[in-house]
Structure 1
Amino acid sequence: MAKDTTGRLHVTVKTGGKRKLSSKLWLERQLNDPYVAKAKRDGYRSRAAYKLIEIDDKYHFLKHGMAVVDLGAAPGGWSQIAARRVGAVNGKGKVVAIDLLEMPEIPGVEFAQLDFLAEDAPEKLIAMMGGRADVVMSDMAANTTGHRKTDQLRIIGLVETAAAFACDVLSPGGTFLAKVFQSGAEGELLAQLKRDFSSVRHVKPASSRQDSSERYVLAMGFRGQSNRP
């Protein structure tokens, strides 16, 4: 082991066997990521929890008593934070988590294993919530192919679909938060969001890896169904 520039011990993963270089680099990054270690200490399902904490600390869109939808929720780091901040842990607010994968139970979170792309998904969700949502959030990322332009289109397409879903289930004044990646392919997405929300901005929390093009789009003040074509 060697120390990095901050003085922490840096773990190096050996190559060899069946492990690919990309797997080696990912594992090495995980082992040396202070947020991964912090998440384990704090009892969070993933390091992504700190991204939501930072964004909400700055923009305060998760309020006590709100109804929240977490798209692509597994393993549940964002759902954990949302449940605490809206009071769902104490039965005050409500958090519904959706994913194609199974997700272990989280206090204050109702989980639905379903595809949000399904035609009847918005109707099912509103029934589960007992009404419309105040916040729809998504930390999903599309599966990558390694071809940059194809991957950019897949990522933006997923966010556009999530935004359309949000508009189907949000109450007027609601908020949509989603992960995007910096690219030149966001024009149509931003135009869609500016039409449907009164405020749209990009956010990059400190807990996002600085060498990553990852950032988040935060759209607040949903104008309501009557504004949509």
Structure 2
Amino acid sequence: MSRSGRDPRERLKTGKGRTQSSVRWLSRQLNDPYVKQAKAEGWRSRAAFKLIELDEKFALLKGAKRVVDLGIAPGGWSQVVRKKAPQAAVVGIDLLPTDPIEGVTIFEMDFMADEAPAALEGALDGAPDLVLSDMAANTVGHKQTDHLRTMGLVETAVDFAITTLAPGGAFVAKVFAGGTDGDLLQILKKNFRTVKHAKPPSSRKDSSEWYVIAQGFKGRAEPEPTDTDAPA
């Protein structure tokens, strides 16, 4: 109850200009213990707890030196990286504006843009050993379409990780119920020593999100020599 004695959820229901979906979202935020804990501990979003929990299970940040945060806004994951691996160089990218984070280079640009990968690599001055992706496409309300759009982002993130990661590195990405697409899963298994799916406790039970965790990057194979490369 509020100080006025009225239930805040009741006020939301009568708020002018609010859609039913926004009322549900606001009500859920007001009553979400992770949201309250995030505010109390100084995290920018409840999503910080997802990375904390994934790190506790998979030791993702142990010894991390260079980290890429794809879909950084509002910055909760990079906050966790800075706290748990303060020695790591961190670079993030997002279409949405993100307030500065000490020790983090932030690009406000489209990860799908041709120049994005080079910008991220250049900011790190070396190959990353961890690529994180909490990206998700804007939903349209059609589950299959939403899944396909988000998987398109995951595929691009996987390609970036395989192209840039240092040997032994790790990749983490948000996927939806059903896990990673079969073909994409095979690519991950081919390039990483272990590939697992997990749903951290802080992920809402009614959410279809899961995370794929690929660890132990095998490294890029050396290109086959061409005729012009062959010794005389």
Asked if TM exceeds 0.5, the reply is yes
More strand, by proportion = 1
Q: Which residue of structure 1 lines up, in the alignment, with residue 191 of structure 2?
A: 196
SS of equivalent to 1:37: helix
Q: Which residue of structure 1 lines up, in the alignment, with residue 56 of structure 2?
A: 57
Relative distance call for 1:42 and 1:227 in structure 2 (3 A) is farther
Distance 2:173 2:47 in 1: 12
Relative distance call for 1:217 and 1:10 in structure 2 (3 A) is farther
Letter in 1 for 2:185: L
Question: Over alpha carbons, which structure has the higher Rg?
Answer: 2
Conservation of the 8 A alpha-carbon contact between 1:193 and 1:219: yes
The 5 Å alignment of 1:16-165 reads 17-64=16-63, 66-87=65-86, 92-165=87-160
* Cα displacement (A) at 1:203: 0.7
Distance 1:182 1:228 in 2: 36
Matched, 1:170 2:169: no
Matched, 1:218 2:210: no
* Cα displacement (A) at 1:60: 0.6
**CA RMSD of the aligned region, Å?**
2.2
SS of equivalent to 1:119: coil
- The runs of 5 or more residues in structure 2 that have no matched partner are 2-6, 225-232
- The runs of 5 or more residues in structure 1 that have no matched partner are 2-8
* Cα displacement (A) at 1:124: 2.0
Relative distance call for 1:185 and 1:93 in structure 2 (3 A) is closer
Distance 2:186 2:95 in 1: 29
* Cα displacement (A) at 1:121: 2.1
Q: Render the CA deviation track for 1:29-73: whole Å, top value 9, x for unaligned.
A: 111100000000000000000010011011112024511000010
Q: Identity of paired residues, percent? A: 54
Aligned length, in residue pairs: 219
Q: Which residue of structure 2 lines up, in the alignment, with residue 208 of structure 1?
A: 203
Distance 1:131 1:44 in 2: 28
SS of equivalent to 1:225: coil
Which region of structure 1 is more displaced relative to structure 2, 45-54 or 114-123?
114-123
Conservation of the 8 A alpha-carbon contact between 1:122 and 1:168: no
Q: Render the CA deviation track for 1:187-217: whole Å, top value 9, x for unaligned.
A: 1221221122111100111100011111111
* Cα displacement (A) at 1:99: 1.1
* Cα displacement (A) at 1:227: 7.5
Which region of structure 1 is more displaced relative to structure 2, 145-154 or 131-140?
145-154
Letter in 2 for 1:217: V
TM-score scaled by length of structure 2: 0.87
